[in-house]
Structure 1
């Protein structure tokens, strides 16, 4: 078999997509681990010097942003195969409905823009929700450690 056929066979398996997701997510997590550690270290250095709870607010917002971006990246990686299947289904259905090639191309571009816009809106909404949830959780953890250490 040629390399191309082996690649197509491997990429068509669900386990391949799961492994790719895990590799990409682990890479994102490990690369952002330094950011997370530096945020927590910054909070550890600054929560004793400030008499207010602002370092806890800053650190929790930054942690929420990092986890929000991570969740959007993970959701996008999972959504891409589903988006491609939906797009192919729509284009093939239009072709079988008797549309000309030119109109399939034109309407396919419109459908692509609509799908991409909808996916972007959903990703943004879910990423913001995860960011808010993580920021609130981090704030309460930081604020409790701040109030218990003074």
Structure 2
């Protein structure tokens, strides 16, 4: 009886959108903390690059390169965190479809054939969404980091560099 109540509570919690958002944020934070050295190395490269630049360059290529690198890192991190959330949801969808096909009276051979086709369809669809969302996050982070680096650079005086 206690197991049934626990399972019911767990299913109710996992059906909430905020639970999935919390899982996404937790995985994203874990990925970010594990790749923090990469972000710090991009920052230190950028600081060295702008300290050695010529005064004639206006915006500067180092700012553009650093912002693209930041966007790429954060886009990959977002794709990794989304993958951690998408895999359980995809498995639940796949199992549901196969169970419904089994209850519809499909023979085993047809069920296996349909299962393979459905697996390919679901995986392809999830992969396309994952790439699109990762590119969106990467672009947003690249633009935001470019603006932040420009503002920081404009705020620094010539003697601060």
TM-score (norm 1): 0.83
Provide, for residues 101-128 of structure 1, a one-character-per-residue CA deviation record: whole Å limited to 9, x for no partner.
Answer: 1110111010000000000000000000
1:143 is matched with 150
**Aligned positions, number:** 140
Question: 134, 148, 159: which is aligned to 1:127?
Answer: 134
- Cα distance in 2 between the residues matched to 1:29 and 1:90: 35
| Consecutive unaligned residues in structure 2, runs of 5 or more | none
Question: RMSD of the alignment, in Å?
Answer: 2.1
Structure 1 runs not aligned, ≥5 long: none
Matches of 1:47 and 1:137, distance apart in 2: 19
Aligned-residue offset at 1:79:
1.3
In structure 2, distance between residues paired with 1:50 and 1:93: 64
Deviation at 1:29, TM superposition (A): 1.2
What CA distance in whole angstroms lies between the structure 2 residues aligned with 1:144 and 1:24?
30
Choose the corresponding residue for 2:84, options 60, 77, 85: 77
Structure 1 residue 41 displacement after superposition: 1.1
Cα drift, residue 145 of structure 1: 2.0
* Secondary structure in 1 matching 2:35: helix
Match among 27, 31, 38 for residue 30 of structure 2: 27
Distance in 2, Cα, partners of 1:119 & 1:86 = 11
Distance, in Å, in 2 between the alignment partners of 1:92 and 1:42 is 54
What is the TM-score normalised by the length of structure 2?
A: 0.78
State the shift of 1:134 in Å: 0.3
